[in-house]
Structure 1
């Protein structure tokens, strides 16, 4: 991996939106990332169900870290999310992401968001993302 886990955790600490959501980094490698977040009542929509934006935000933060693990800035070109199930209020969501392909200019990634359940994990959503990799240095 280009950056040690400590540097990526420091970057996450500077992300005030991710911090407000309670998103935590569990692990990251050259090709994968895992993060989690507990759903709060403030994340509910008017149906009293977790808002899709909260689910998307978890995947987007994972995308940001995985795509920017090198010394150069990567920015989102495209993100497409599919919601498969609605999580329950209070669930802990886990995002597992992987790099599908990277070149000098782009990177393609797949993220799966699960709800932890007593009986196992339930797939909540999948997100496919593409990043444009600039040549601008990433200031830590």
Structure 2
């Protein structure tokens, strides 16, 4: 997968409304560094419960981390509260391992949007080392009743 260059995004609030009840992201310890209408940057320090029997980050953890960045990039923190943008599909390519104690960074951005459908790329890194490339496909829908 070719990753689209991620635009520079200005610092905004570290809080994002969709994380208010996201217990998975809370458990993972995800930190929102930046979030705008079409891009996001988050980070995570890998803990011992996040690595597999080989001593490297579990693929499910990396996928969940990239998926969270995708969700933040898809959902404008100041957007219309009557709609949400959800994943309609996603793929990930694991490029290099990450280890306990390392800090992952994910940067995601909109690649294209047509109507209610979008495509986003997320790059997961440890420093300058690319760990994974994620491509998410999104769909904007009416917010379900709670």
TM-score normalized by structure 2? 0.81
Q: Does 1:45 align with 2:52?
A: yes
Structure 2: 5+ residue stretches without partners: 1-11
Q: Hey, what's the Cα distance between the residues in 1 that align with 2:61 and 2:93?
A: 14
Q: 1:87 aligns with which of 94, 98, 105?
A: 98
Bigger share in helix: 1
Q: Does 1:107 align with 2:118?
A: yes
SS of corresponding position for 1:128: strand
| TM-align CA RMSD | 1.9
TM-score normalized by structure 1? 0.84
Structure 2 counterparts to residues 1-140 of structure 1, below 5 A: 5-6=12-13, 9-69=16-76, 70-71=79-80, 72-116=83-127, 121-134=128-141, 136-137=142-143
| Moved >3 Å (runs of 4+) | 5-8
Deviations 1:91-118 (A, max 9, x none): 00000001011232101100000013xx
Cα displacement (A) at 1:48: 1.9
Is the CA contact (8 Å cut-off) linking 1:8 and 1:65 kept in structure 2?
no
SS of corresponding position for 1:60: helix
Deviations 1:38-91 (A, max 9, x none): 000010111122101111111111111211223211121110000000012210
Cα displacement (A) at 1:6: 4.6
Q: How many residues get paired?
A: 130
Q: Hey, what's the Cα distance between the residues in 1 that align with 2:104 and 2:144?
A: 29
